[in-house]
Amino acid sequence: MDKLIIEGGRPLKGEVRISGSKNATLPVLAATLLTDETCVIANVPKLMDTNTMVRLLKSLGKVVDWDKDKLIIMSNGKMNPVADYKLVSTMRGSICVLGPLLAKLGEAKVSMPGGCVIGVRPVDLHQKGVEALGAKVAFDGGYIVAQAKRLKGARVYLAGASGPSVLGTANVMMAATLADGETIIECAACEPEVEELANFLNAMGARIRGQGSPRIIIHGVKKLHGADYRMSSDRIEAGTFVLLAAMARSNFVIRDIDYSQLTALDDVMHNVGVTVQAEKNLVKVKSPKVLKPFSITTYPYPGFPTDLQAQYIALMSLTNGVSVIRDTVFPDRFMHIAELNRMGARIRREGGSAIVEGVKSLCGAPVVASDLRASAALVMAGLVASGKTEIRRVYHLDRGYENIDRKLTGLGASIKREKE
Ligand code: EPZ
């Protein structure tokens, strides 16, 4: 396992390019299971998670080759409906092969995705969605077993106590593309990643409209063909770098960012006293000497994203007052609090909220990463803390941030990767 050693306090300058979107790429790769024809997907980030999805596709009957940042995906002629525990348990996102396998093969056996430290990861909405389309679903030995001779379009309300489900919407939308008749998903997830998946499916010949809104309508078709597609940039990586620039009081340029997908973050930045100058596809951040505390609550898109909650808490640890950060999507997603407190932050947890009392500065310390976005928060803190920070278990970070140490070194940070 690797660790990162960061010497904090270096000024950050220059520019950084945002990679392709991890959370849009995973369902798009899964969608290639809906056709036997070749798909070419460009701007795919080289991450642990995309490599896991490539291995999963190969185990399901695909031939997959990298060509620089492109993935060329073909069929090997014998598809397999079983998504194995060894692969699925390492990545929650693998659940999104359920819908395509069911639609293409009439059956799917997908290992229940591992829970993770951000909270229990139920699949009841995935089950509800495919059952609405006529599938029979059972649970056997840790696997979801779904069967359907022929999927039939239906109207389904797809939200739970914590609101819509991103990958639940993705699964039902993909399954519905080859169902008989029309499917209407009510209270669908509106995330840009769902919209991007619908756009890719339409490029394959699907008939989907309403993507990006809470009502998505899918007219089933007989067959889907291959498609060439270029992934858009990663909304959450972009938001992470905006928060880093604010925290480091730096105005480095963030390139290949669609800032229109981060309106909730922009609104919060304004309240903290930070200005984000957005031009065509780049932004520059201007932050004041003293950052103002501002309380937030995370919500499904277009609300403030839960995937930026940990990074925002890191920023709030350096304000001149108290802020409350509530996570309504993953109320247990606070493993980063204890580690940030080791660096001199003053944060306490109360139920699904973190109470952050701003401090003047942070100091470097040995810390342990626990999940993807918590690791990003620790890197941000290490970059602005005085002294040395050592972050262990950085494989969490490598799941979702492409070449993060190289990108930060390019901005002038002192960050080294070593074997643990
Ligand atoms: C996606 O996970 C993202 N992952 C997550 O990003 C992100 O945090 C999450 O959406 C919310 O935006 C990928 O896209 C690969 P959900 P997903 O189903 O789809 C509850 C990251 O850091 N729920 O939208 O698995 C669930 O418990 C990752 O990049 C049910 O109750 O999340 C949660 O409270 C972390 N029943 C809420 O819905 C279900 O069947 C939202 O979960 C499914 C979910």
- Predicted confidence at residue 118, as pLDDT, reads 86
Give the closest residue to 72 by CA, choosing from 82, 58, 86, 85. 58
Instruction: Give me the sign of the Cα torsion angle 162, 90, 5, 12.
Output: negative
Estimate the crossing angle of helix 48-59 against helix 22-31, to 10 degrees.
Answer: 10
Q: What is the mean pLDDT of residues 339-354?
A: 98
């069929």: which residue's tokens?
75
User: pLDDT of 248-304, one tens digit each?
Assistant: 999 999 999 999 999 999 999 999 999 999 999 999 999 999 999 999 999 999 999
For the annotated catalytic residues, the residue numbers are 116
Burial zone of 69 (CB within 10 Å; 0-12 exposed, 13-18 middle, 19+ buried): middle
CA of 65 to the centre of ligand 1 (A): 29
What does the domain layout of the chain look like in residue ranges? 2-19+234-419, 22-223
- Predicted confidence at residue 121, as pLDDT, reads 82
Q: How far apart are CA 369 and CA 312, in angstroms?
A: 16
Q: How far apart are CA 202 and CA 206, in angstroms?
A: 4
Q: How far apart are CA 332 and CA 120, in angstroms?
A: 9
Residue 124 Cβ contacting ligand 1 at under 6 Å? yes
């998903």: which residue's tokens?
185
Residue 307 Cβ contacting ligand 1 at under 6 Å? yes
Q: Write the residue with the smallest CA distance to atom 28 of ligand 1.
A: 307
Instruction: Look at strands 253-255 and 15-17 and give their pairing.
Output: parallel
Q: How far apart are CA 403 and CA 225, in angstroms?
A: 33
Q: Write the residue with the smallest CA distance to atom 6 of ligand 1.
A: 307
Q: Which CATH number fits domain 2-19+234-419: 3.30.1180.20, 3.30.420.40, 2.40.70.10, 3.65.10.10?
A: 3.65.10.10
Residue 347 Cβ contacting ligand 1 at under 6 Å? no
User: pLDDT of 73-90, one tens digit each?
Assistant: 999 999 999 999 998 888
User: pLDDT of 347-362, one tens digit each?
Assistant: 999 999 999 999 999 9
Please tell us whether the domain made up of 22-223 is placed in CATH 2.40.50.100.
no
């050592």: which residue's tokens?
390
This model's pTM is above 0.85: yes
- Give per-residue burial for 384-420: e unless 16+ CB within 10 Å, then b: bbeeebbbbbbebbbbbbbebbebbeebebebeeeee
- Predicted confidence at residue 120, as pLDDT, reads 80
Q: What is the mean pLDDT of residues 126-131?
A: 98
Residue 23 Cβ contacting ligand 1 at under 6 Å? yes
- pLDDT of 126 strictly over 60: yes
Q: Write the residue with the smallest CA distance to atom 9 of ligand 1.
A: 166
Provide the token pair at 306.
């839960």
At a CB cut-off of 8 Å and minimum separation 6, what does 193 contact?
21, 23, 24, 27, 166, 170, 235
339-345 own/partner pairs: CB under 8 Å, 24+ apart: 339/367, 339/368, 339/369, 339/370, 339/374, 339/378, 340/313, 340/314, 340/377, 340/378, 340/381, 342/366, 342/367, 343/367, 343/381, 343/382, 343/385, 343/389, 344/385, 345/314, 345/317, 345/381
- Predicted confidence at residue 114, as pLDDT, reads 65
CA of 159 to the centre of ligand 1 (A): 11
Same fold, 2-19+234-419 and 22-223: yes
- Predicted confidence at residue 90, as pLDDT, reads 86
Q: Write the residue with the smallest CA distance to atom 20 of ligand 1.
A: 162
pLDDT > 90: percent of the chain: 95
For the chain, what is the mean pLDDT?
Answer: 96
Give the closest residue to 258 by CA, choosing from 22, 21, 25. 21
Q: Which atom of ligand 1 is nearest to the CA of 331?
A: 34
CA of 208 to the centre of ligand 1 (A): 22
Residue 125 Cβ contacting ligand 1 at under 6 Å? yes
- Predicted confidence at residue 89, as pLDDT, reads 86
- pLDDT of 115 strictly over 60: no
Which of 50, 167, 311 should be mutated for ligand 1, with most atoms under 8 A from CB? 167
CA of 165 to the centre of ligand 1 (A): 6
Residue 128 Cβ contacting ligand 1 at under 6 Å? no
